[in-house]
Structure 1
Protein backbone atom coordinates (compact mmCIF):
# COMPACT_ATOMS: atom_id res chain seq x y z
CA UNK A 1 0.00 0.00 0.00
CA UNK A 2 1.27 3.47 -0.86
CA UNK A 3 0.46 6.30 1.55
CA UNK A 4 1.64 9.73 2.58
CA UNK A 5 4.59 9.57 4.94
CA UNK A 6 4.36 10.54 8.61
CA UNK A 7 7.09 11.80 10.96
CA UNK A 8 6.95 8.37 12.66
CA UNK A 9 8.38 6.85 9.45
CA UNK A 10 11.73 8.55 10.04
CA UNK A 11 13.76 5.48 11.03
CA UNK A 12 12.62 3.60 7.92
CA UNK A 13 12.72 6.43 5.37
CA UNK A 14 15.97 8.26 6.21
CA UNK A 15 18.12 5.23 5.23
CA UNK A 16 16.12 4.92 2.00
CA UNK A 17 16.82 8.57 1.13
CA UNK A 18 20.53 8.00 1.78
CA UNK A 19 20.48 4.80 -0.30
CA UNK A 20 18.94 6.70 -3.23
CA UNK A 21 21.44 9.53 -2.95
CA UNK A 22 24.55 7.39 -2.61
CA UNK A 23 27.68 9.52 -2.23
CA UNK A 24 25.64 12.74 -2.49
CA UNK A 25 24.35 12.12 1.03
CA UNK A 26 27.91 12.29 2.39
CA UNK A 27 28.55 15.47 0.44
CA UNK A 28 25.52 17.05 2.13
CA UNK A 29 26.56 15.87 5.58
CA UNK A 30 30.19 16.81 4.88
CA UNK A 31 31.37 13.58 6.48
CA UNK A 32 31.81 9.90 5.72
CA UNK A 33 30.48 9.07 9.20
CA UNK A 34 27.36 7.04 8.39
CA UNK A 35 25.75 7.82 11.77
CA UNK A 36 26.11 11.58 11.25
CA UNK A 37 24.73 11.36 7.72
CA UNK A 38 21.79 9.30 8.97
CA UNK A 39 21.14 11.79 11.79
CA UNK A 40 21.06 14.66 9.28
CA UNK A 41 18.41 13.04 7.10
CA UNK A 42 16.40 11.82 10.09
CA UNK A 43 16.33 15.38 11.38
CA UNK A 44 15.16 16.89 8.09
CA UNK A 45 12.63 14.16 7.34
CA UNK A 46 10.81 15.04 10.59
CA UNK A 47 10.84 18.77 9.83
CA UNK A 48 8.39 20.69 7.67
CA UNK A 49 9.23 22.97 4.73
CA UNK A 50 12.29 21.26 3.24
CA UNK A 51 12.81 19.02 0.27
CA UNK A 52 13.42 15.88 2.39
CA UNK A 53 10.42 16.37 4.67
CA UNK A 54 7.78 13.76 5.31
CA UNK A 55 5.43 16.35 3.76
CA UNK A 56 6.98 15.61 0.36
CA UNK A 57 7.21 11.84 0.73
CA UNK A 58 5.15 8.80 -0.14
CA UNK A 59 5.94 5.41 1.35
CA UNK A 60 5.20 1.87 0.25
CA UNK A 61 4.16 -0.18 3.25
CA UNK A 62 3.80 -3.95 3.33
CA UNK A 63 2.74 -5.88 6.43
CA UNK A 64 3.17 -2.72 8.52
CA UNK A 65 6.78 -2.19 7.37
CA UNK A 66 7.97 0.67 5.16
CA UNK A 67 9.68 -1.00 2.20
CA UNK A 68 10.13 1.96 -0.13
CA UNK A 69 9.86 5.71 -0.41
CA UNK A 70 9.45 8.46 -2.98
CA UNK A 71 10.38 12.05 -2.22
CA UNK A 72 8.91 14.63 -4.66
CA UNK A 73 7.86 18.26 -4.95
CA UNK A 74 7.07 21.12 -7.30
CA UNK A 75 10.35 22.09 -8.96
CA UNK A 76 9.38 25.76 -8.75
CA UNK A 77 9.70 25.46 -4.96
CA UNK A 78 13.25 24.05 -4.96
CA UNK A 79 14.96 27.23 -3.71
CA UNK A 80 12.38 27.73 -0.96
CA UNK A 81 12.51 24.08 0.13
CA UNK A 82 16.31 23.96 -0.03
CA UNK A 83 16.86 27.14 2.06
CA UNK A 84 16.40 25.63 5.55
CA UNK A 85 18.52 22.65 4.55
CA UNK A 86 21.42 24.76 3.24
CA UNK A 87 21.22 27.15 6.21
CA UNK A 88 21.49 24.18 8.57
CA UNK A 89 24.43 22.72 6.61
CA UNK A 90 26.27 26.04 6.83
CA UNK A 91 25.84 26.25 10.60
CA UNK A 92 26.16 22.59 11.63
CA UNK A 93 28.19 20.95 8.87
CA UNK A 94 30.67 23.70 8.02
CA UNK A 95 29.36 24.08 4.45
CA UNK A 96 29.30 27.87 4.33
CA UNK A 97 29.76 28.29 0.58
CA UNK A 98 27.91 25.16 -0.48
CA UNK A 99 25.61 26.07 -3.37
CA UNK A 100 24.53 22.95 -5.25
CA UNK A 101 23.30 23.35 -8.78
CA UNK A 102 19.53 23.35 -9.27
CA UNK A 103 18.50 19.82 -10.13
CA UNK A 104 14.99 20.92 -11.07
CA UNK A 105 13.03 24.08 -11.72
CA UNK A 106 9.74 25.65 -12.56
CA UNK A 107 7.50 23.65 -14.85
CA UNK A 108 8.14 20.17 -13.52
CA UNK A 109 7.14 18.00 -10.60
CA UNK A 110 10.45 16.60 -9.41
CA UNK A 111 11.02 13.05 -8.17
CA UNK A 112 14.00 13.68 -5.89
CA UNK A 113 14.62 10.26 -4.35
CA UNK A 114 13.08 6.87 -5.12
CA UNK A 115 14.29 3.97 -3.05
CA UNK A 116 13.31 0.41 -2.15
CA UNK A 117 14.67 -1.61 0.78
CA UNK A 118 17.27 -4.05 -0.63
CA UNK A 119 15.33 -7.02 0.82
CA UNK A 120 12.20 -5.97 -1.10
CA UNK A 121 13.73 -5.13 -4.48
CA UNK A 122 12.57 -6.88 -7.63
CA UNK A 123 8.92 -7.00 -6.51
CA UNK A 124 7.65 -3.99 -8.47
CA UNK A 125 7.66 -1.58 -5.52
CA UNK A 126 9.83 0.97 -7.34
CA UNK A 127 7.48 0.91 -10.34
CA UNK A 128 4.49 1.45 -8.07
CA UNK A 129 6.21 4.39 -6.38
CA UNK A 130 7.01 5.97 -9.75
CA UNK A 131 3.38 5.53 -10.83
CA UNK A 132 2.26 7.11 -7.55
CA UNK A 133 4.61 10.03 -8.15
CA UNK A 134 3.14 10.59 -11.61
CA UNK A 135 -0.39 10.45 -10.18
CA UNK A 136 0.64 12.92 -7.46
CA UNK A 137 1.89 15.28 -10.18
CA UNK A 138 -1.42 14.94 -12.06
CA UNK A 139 -3.42 15.77 -8.92
CA UNK A 140 -1.36 18.96 -8.58
CA UNK A 141 -2.01 19.77 -12.29
CA UNK A 142 1.57 19.29 -13.44
CA UNK A 143 2.05 18.11 -17.00
CA UNK A 144 5.72 17.19 -16.66
CA UNK A 145 7.56 14.99 -14.16
CA UNK A 146 11.35 15.15 -13.96
CA UNK A 147 14.17 13.30 -12.27
CA UNK A 148 17.92 12.82 -12.42
CA UNK A 149 19.64 9.46 -12.87
CA UNK A 150 23.38 8.84 -12.90
CA UNK A 151 24.59 8.37 -16.47
CA UNK A 152 26.12 4.98 -15.65
CA UNK A 153 23.05 3.60 -13.85
CA UNK A 154 21.68 1.55 -16.76
CA UNK A 155 19.22 -0.43 -14.62
CA UNK A 156 17.49 2.71 -13.32
CA UNK A 157 17.64 4.35 -16.75
CA UNK A 158 15.78 1.42 -18.32
CA UNK A 159 13.20 1.38 -15.52
CA UNK A 160 12.44 5.08 -16.00
CA UNK A 161 12.23 4.65 -19.76
CA UNK A 162 9.64 1.88 -19.33
CA UNK A 163 7.62 4.39 -17.28
CA UNK A 164 7.65 6.95 -20.10
CA UNK A 165 10.63 9.08 -19.07
CA UNK A 166 12.89 10.36 -21.84
CA UNK A 167 16.37 11.82 -21.56
CA UNK A 168 16.27 15.59 -22.06
CA UNK A 169 19.92 16.43 -21.44
CA UNK A 170 22.90 15.74 -19.21
CA UNK A 171 23.33 17.74 -16.05
CA UNK A 172 26.21 18.13 -13.64
CA UNK A 173 25.16 18.03 -10.01
CA UNK A 174 27.61 18.28 -7.11
CA UNK A 175 30.44 16.74 -9.11
CA UNK A 176 28.44 13.95 -10.76
CA UNK A 177 27.00 13.61 -14.24
CA UNK A 178 23.30 12.77 -14.59
CA UNK A 179 20.65 12.31 -17.22
CA UNK A 180 17.80 14.75 -16.72
CA UNK A 181 14.74 12.70 -17.65
CA UNK A 182 11.20 13.93 -18.18
CA UNK A 183 7.85 12.20 -18.44
CA UNK A 184 5.11 14.28 -20.06
CA UNK A 185 1.64 13.60 -18.73
CA UNK A 186 -1.81 14.60 -19.86
CA UNK A 187 -4.03 16.42 -17.41
CA UNK A 188 -7.66 15.44 -17.82
Structure 2
Protein backbone atom coordinates (compact mmCIF):
# COMPACT_ATOMS: atom_id res chain seq x y z
CA UNK A 1 0.00 0.00 0.00
CA UNK A 2 1.25 3.48 -0.84
CA UNK A 3 1.03 6.13 1.86
CA UNK A 4 2.76 9.36 2.86
CA UNK A 5 5.90 8.71 4.89
CA UNK A 6 5.96 9.40 8.61
CA UNK A 7 8.86 10.36 10.92
CA UNK A 8 8.91 6.82 12.32
CA UNK A 9 9.78 5.55 8.81
CA UNK A 10 13.15 7.36 8.90
CA UNK A 11 15.33 4.26 9.59
CA UNK A 12 13.85 2.38 6.63
CA UNK A 13 13.93 5.49 4.44
CA UNK A 14 17.64 6.00 5.20
CA UNK A 15 18.39 2.44 4.04
CA UNK A 16 16.44 3.06 0.83
CA UNK A 17 18.15 6.42 0.19
CA UNK A 18 21.53 4.67 0.32
CA UNK A 19 20.21 1.98 -2.01
CA UNK A 20 18.99 4.65 -4.46
CA UNK A 21 22.09 6.83 -4.47
CA UNK A 22 24.68 4.12 -3.96
CA UNK A 23 27.31 3.85 -1.26
CA UNK A 24 29.89 5.94 -3.16
CA UNK A 25 27.69 9.04 -3.45
CA UNK A 26 26.36 8.61 0.09
CA UNK A 27 29.94 8.35 1.39
CA UNK A 28 30.83 11.52 -0.50
CA UNK A 29 27.93 13.45 1.04
CA UNK A 30 28.62 12.05 4.53
CA UNK A 31 32.34 12.70 4.05
CA UNK A 32 33.04 9.22 5.39
CA UNK A 33 33.56 5.72 3.96
CA UNK A 34 31.68 4.37 7.01
CA UNK A 35 28.21 3.32 5.84
CA UNK A 36 26.86 3.78 9.36
CA UNK A 37 27.77 7.49 9.26
CA UNK A 38 25.78 7.89 6.04
CA UNK A 39 22.83 5.92 7.44
CA UNK A 40 22.73 8.11 10.56
CA UNK A 41 22.94 11.25 8.42
CA UNK A 42 20.03 10.31 6.19
CA UNK A 43 17.96 8.94 9.07
CA UNK A 44 18.39 12.28 10.87
CA UNK A 45 17.17 14.29 7.88
CA UNK A 46 14.42 11.84 6.86
CA UNK A 47 12.84 12.29 10.33
CA UNK A 48 12.76 16.11 10.03
CA UNK A 49 10.85 18.58 7.88
CA UNK A 50 12.23 21.42 5.78
CA UNK A 51 14.92 19.56 3.84
CA UNK A 52 15.17 17.58 0.62
CA UNK A 53 15.37 14.20 2.39
CA UNK A 54 12.37 14.86 4.67
CA UNK A 55 9.63 12.31 5.18
CA UNK A 56 7.25 15.09 4.07
CA UNK A 57 8.61 14.73 0.50
CA UNK A 58 8.22 10.93 0.45
CA UNK A 59 5.64 8.34 -0.46
CA UNK A 60 6.33 4.84 0.83
CA UNK A 61 5.17 1.39 -0.15
CA UNK A 62 4.42 -0.44 3.07
CA UNK A 63 3.53 -4.07 3.45
CA UNK A 64 2.12 -4.71 6.90
CA UNK A 65 4.51 -2.69 9.10
CA UNK A 66 7.49 -2.91 6.72
CA UNK A 67 8.52 -0.05 4.43
CA UNK A 68 9.57 -1.86 1.24
CA UNK A 69 10.01 1.07 -1.11
CA UNK A 70 9.93 4.84 -1.35
CA UNK A 71 9.89 7.71 -3.79
CA UNK A 72 11.07 11.19 -2.80
CA UNK A 73 10.16 14.31 -4.77
CA UNK A 74 9.82 18.06 -4.33
CA UNK A 75 9.38 21.30 -6.24
CA UNK A 76 12.61 22.01 -8.13
CA UNK A 77 12.19 25.73 -7.40
CA UNK A 78 12.80 24.90 -3.72
CA UNK A 79 16.07 22.99 -4.23
CA UNK A 80 18.33 25.64 -2.65
CA UNK A 81 16.00 26.13 0.32
CA UNK A 82 15.60 22.37 0.90
CA UNK A 83 19.30 21.63 0.40
CA UNK A 84 20.51 24.37 2.75
CA UNK A 85 19.98 22.62 6.15
CA UNK A 86 21.53 19.40 4.87
CA UNK A 87 24.61 21.14 3.46
CA UNK A 88 24.99 23.28 6.58
CA UNK A 89 24.97 20.15 8.76
CA UNK A 90 27.33 18.13 6.57
CA UNK A 91 29.77 21.02 6.29
CA UNK A 92 29.73 22.03 9.96
CA UNK A 93 29.54 18.54 11.51
CA UNK A 94 31.05 16.18 8.95
CA UNK A 95 33.56 18.34 7.08
CA UNK A 96 31.90 18.02 3.67
CA UNK A 97 33.45 20.55 1.28
CA UNK A 98 31.76 19.70 -2.01
CA UNK A 99 29.34 21.87 -3.92
CA UNK A 100 26.61 19.74 -5.52
CA UNK A 101 25.42 20.89 -8.91
CA UNK A 102 21.77 21.87 -9.26
CA UNK A 103 20.09 18.63 -10.22
CA UNK A 104 16.73 20.25 -10.95
CA UNK A 105 15.27 23.65 -11.71
CA UNK A 106 12.12 25.73 -11.25
CA UNK A 107 9.17 24.35 -13.21
CA UNK A 108 10.07 20.74 -12.46
CA UNK A 109 8.70 18.46 -9.75
CA UNK A 110 11.89 16.52 -9.08
CA UNK A 111 12.19 12.85 -8.17
CA UNK A 112 15.28 12.84 -5.96
CA UNK A 113 15.29 9.16 -4.96
CA UNK A 114 13.39 6.00 -5.78
CA UNK A 115 14.23 2.64 -4.26
CA UNK A 116 12.66 -0.71 -3.52
CA UNK A 117 14.31 -3.08 -1.07
CA UNK A 118 15.99 -6.05 -2.81
CA UNK A 119 13.58 -8.58 -1.28
CA UNK A 120 10.64 -6.77 -2.91
CA UNK A 121 12.08 -5.89 -6.32
CA UNK A 122 10.49 -7.27 -9.47
CA UNK A 123 6.93 -6.93 -8.12
CA UNK A 124 5.99 -3.67 -9.86
CA UNK A 125 6.38 -1.56 -6.71
CA UNK A 126 8.64 1.04 -8.37
CA UNK A 127 6.16 1.48 -11.21
CA UNK A 128 3.30 1.95 -8.73
CA UNK A 129 5.31 4.48 -6.72
CA UNK A 130 6.15 6.47 -9.87
CA UNK A 131 2.51 6.42 -10.99
CA UNK A 132 1.36 7.62 -7.55
CA UNK A 133 3.99 10.36 -7.63
CA UNK A 134 2.86 11.52 -11.09
CA UNK A 135 -0.71 11.72 -9.78
CA UNK A 136 0.47 13.67 -6.73
CA UNK A 137 2.43 16.11 -8.92
CA UNK A 138 -0.59 16.73 -11.16
CA UNK A 139 -2.88 17.18 -8.15
CA UNK A 140 -0.69 19.97 -6.75
CA UNK A 141 -0.44 21.75 -10.10
CA UNK A 142 2.87 20.62 -11.59
CA UNK A 143 3.19 20.05 -15.34
CA UNK A 144 6.67 18.51 -15.54
CA UNK A 145 8.28 15.76 -13.47
CA UNK A 146 12.03 15.25 -13.79
CA UNK A 147 14.75 13.00 -12.48
CA UNK A 148 18.35 11.97 -13.00
CA UNK A 149 19.22 8.40 -13.85
CA UNK A 150 22.74 7.06 -13.55
CA UNK A 151 24.18 6.16 -16.95
CA UNK A 152 25.27 2.86 -15.41
CA UNK A 153 21.67 1.90 -14.62
CA UNK A 154 20.00 0.98 -17.93
CA UNK A 155 17.29 -1.03 -16.13
CA UNK A 156 16.04 2.10 -14.34
CA UNK A 157 16.21 4.15 -17.54
CA UNK A 158 14.18 1.49 -19.36
CA UNK A 159 11.47 1.67 -16.67
CA UNK A 160 11.23 5.46 -16.91
CA UNK A 161 11.17 5.44 -20.73
CA UNK A 162 8.46 2.74 -20.64
CA UNK A 163 6.38 5.01 -18.38
CA UNK A 164 6.70 7.94 -20.81
CA UNK A 165 9.74 9.86 -19.58
CA UNK A 166 11.94 11.44 -22.26
CA UNK A 167 15.70 11.98 -22.18
CA UNK A 168 16.48 15.70 -22.03
CA UNK A 169 20.28 15.53 -21.90
CA UNK A 170 23.17 14.88 -19.54
CA UNK A 171 23.63 16.34 -16.06
CA UNK A 172 26.73 16.20 -13.85
CA UNK A 173 26.27 15.58 -10.14
CA UNK A 174 29.16 15.27 -7.68
CA UNK A 175 31.58 13.74 -10.13
CA UNK A 176 29.11 11.49 -11.95
CA UNK A 177 27.28 12.01 -15.21
CA UNK A 178 23.59 11.20 -15.29
CA UNK A 179 20.82 11.46 -17.83
CA UNK A 180 18.12 14.04 -17.13
CA UNK A 181 14.66 12.67 -17.94
CA UNK A 182 11.31 14.44 -17.85
CA UNK A 183 7.66 13.47 -17.98
CA UNK A 184 5.16 16.07 -19.13
CA UNK A 185 1.80 15.85 -17.39
CA UNK A 186 -1.32 16.67 -19.34
CA UNK A 187 -2.84 20.01 -18.43
TM bracket, shorter-chain basis: over 0.9
RMSD: 0.8
- Please show how residues 92-171 of structure 1 align to structure 2 within 5 Å: 92-95=93-96, 97-171=97-171
Structure 1 runs of 4+ aligned residues shifted over 2 Å read none
State the alpha-carbon separation in 2 of the partners of residues 166 and 44 from structure 1. 31
Count the aligned residue pairs.
Answer: 186
State the alpha-carbon separation in 2 of the partners of residues 105 and 136 from structure 1. 19
- Please show how residues 77-96 of structure 1 align to structure 2 within 5 Å: 77-95=78-96
State the alpha-carbon separation in 2 of the partners of residues 63 and 162 from structure 1. 29
Q: Is the 8 A contact 1:46 1:54 kept in 2?
A: yes
State the alpha-carbon separation in 2 of the partners of residues 44 and 104 from structure 1. 20
Q: Find the counterpart in structure 2 of residue 3 from structure 1.
A: 3
Q: Find the counterpart in structure 2 of residue 183 from structure 1.
A: 183
State the alpha-carbon separation in 1 of the partners of residues 16 and 160 from structure 2. 18
Q: Is the 8 A contact 1:86 1:98 kept in 2?
A: no
State the alpha-carbon separation in 1 of the partners of residues 137 and 119 from structure 2. 28
State the alpha-carbon separation in 2 of the partners of residues 64 and 128 from structure 1. 18
State the alpha-carbon separation in 1 of the partners of residues 92 and 17 from structure 2. 22
Where does the alignment leave 5 or more consecutive residues of structure 1 unmatched?
none
Q: Is the 8 A contact 1:57 1:69 kept in 2?
A: yes
1:69 paired with 2:109, answer no
State the alpha-carbon separation in 2 of the partners of residues 151 and 133 from structure 1. 23
TM-score for both structures, normalised by structure 2: 0.97
State the alpha-carbon separation in 1 of the partners of residues 160 and 58 from structure 2. 19
State the alpha-carbon separation in 2 of the partners of residues 133 and 27 from structure 1. 28
